[in-house]
Structure 1
Amino acid sequence: MRVKWGKERKAIVRTFNDMEIKEMLREAKKLTFFKPQKMDKQHIGYQTKFTNQRDYLLLLILIDTGLRINEVMNLKDVHITNKVLFFGNTKGKKDRVVHGLPLIYKEYI
């Protein structure tokens, strides 16, 4: 006779509400207009306009697509005219194609 083990409860993941998302985007967008500045002792290097814009775009992609951060880091190709992003090696070990992306195209195209 086999003993069945009880299932572990999974924690409920808290999602951001619309106000929190707008606040994150507003703060990230402010950084894209700052002049390069030396970071504090805990952070090595410089905060540049490029890194600020990169971080803002990553935040937009995360919000617009709902992908995980590891999936977004595997961005393989972008087709601007077709409004398509190609991601490789996602969680299910499959490539993923994301269409649409209204937030990103509103900001950058």
Structure 2
Amino acid sequence: MRIALPLIVSLGMFTTMTSLSLGIGSMLPAEMGIPLPFGFGGEPASKTVLLAIMPFAILIATAVFALICKNIGTTARHPERYIILWLAVILLLSVGHGLVIRSALMSLGST
């Protein structure tokens, strides 16, 4: 199965998400958290952890999908479904990262 399209899209989104995270992370003050409750007590998460979660998740998802594609022959029977699933996962992770970036920009604008 040809995995060039989803692999290029995945790596492009990883690069974009990492660049956005680094840019927003450098704009936010060091003591400021992003107002998304990722802690057990509902406290705002640290900006470093929160901005790094989604790019790391997309990198893991890309590796898993690429390894499954290379090692399991069942994807050869329905490659279109596999590619659609792969791109849907990348889209969902990208939307989640967009919401994190939006929250960071809103907290930056309120200071």
Q: Please, what TM-score do these two structures have when normalized by structure 1?
A: 0.32
Q: Which has the higher strand share?
A: 1
Q: Please, what TM-score do these two structures have when normalized by structure 2?
A: 0.32
| Structure exhibiting the larger radius of gyration computed from Cα positions | 1
